[in-house]
Amino acid sequence: MSSTITPLGIKADPRLSGRAVKRVAFDEGEIARRVTELGREISGAYPDGDLLVLGLLKGSFIFLSDLVRQITRPLQVDFLVASSYGEGTVSSGTVNLVYDPETELKGKDIILVEDIVDSGRTLNRLMAILKEREPRSLEICALLHKRIAEGLKYDAKFVGFDAPNEFLVGYGLDHAENFRHLPYIASLM
Ligand code: IMP
Ligand code: MG
């Protein structure tokens, strides 16, 4: 497992092309260990039923691909796309569904996989949409949770880490589409 990356190490990371990243919030090893635990938790929580792991693109793509490989029971994977942030670092508040999953949702045990819960607006909106499709159950699995959402109507049953209230990038999370490929999670400012 990789050790914590020092500030000097971040500066030297060629993936960043000289751009500033403040510090590593979660390194590769920590993430891998937590994702393994989450996989075990989820495997145990669904002894039967048709499990559908539904990833919210694009932010969840790396987390989801690591997570499903740690779930030791049958499952299906699909994705949906919502857009809300544009190029800023503050939520615009408008959540649009750009791509709707093709998989039948009715009667399935659905886990909605999200990269990070910030204001909670995205989840409030998407959970309402998904509930109308009559799944057998509907839960949230978030890699990161800032725990600052006030109007959050749905609890995340599975959470990777409580996140600092900073803008985070890497392991799927972006800033203006950059930094998604970092194997660690870093704070940008
Ligand atoms: P919310 O609707 O405010 O909860 O925002 C959720 C979405 O905003 C996430 O799926 C992310 O795509 C994005 N987001 C929120 N906070 C961050 C962050 O710190 N870094 C990168 N993206 C973020
Ligand atoms: Mg984003």
Domains of the chain: 25-182 (3.40.50.2020)
Tokens (6 digits) for 84: 């809300």
By CB atoms closer than 10 A (0-12, 13-18, 19+), residue 177 is exposed
Indicate which atom in ligand 1 lies nearest the CA of residue 175: 21
84 C-beta closer than 6 A to ligand 1: yes
* Per-residue model confidence as pLDDT tens digits over 18-35: 777 889 999 999 999 999
Q: CB-hemisphere CA count at 13 Å for 5? A: 23
Higher pLDDT, 159 or 86: 159
Whether the per-residue pLDDT at 87 is higher than 60: the answer is no
pLDDT of residue 2: 43
Q: Residue 94 CA: which ligand is closest?
A: 1
Compute the mean pLDDT over every residue in the chain, rounded to the nearest whole number.
88
From 66, 109, 118, 174, the catalytic residue: 118
CA of 97 to the centre of ligand 1 (A): 15
Closest CA to 125 of 161, 151, 160: 151
Q: pTM for this structure? A: 0.90
Say whether 118 is catalytic: yes
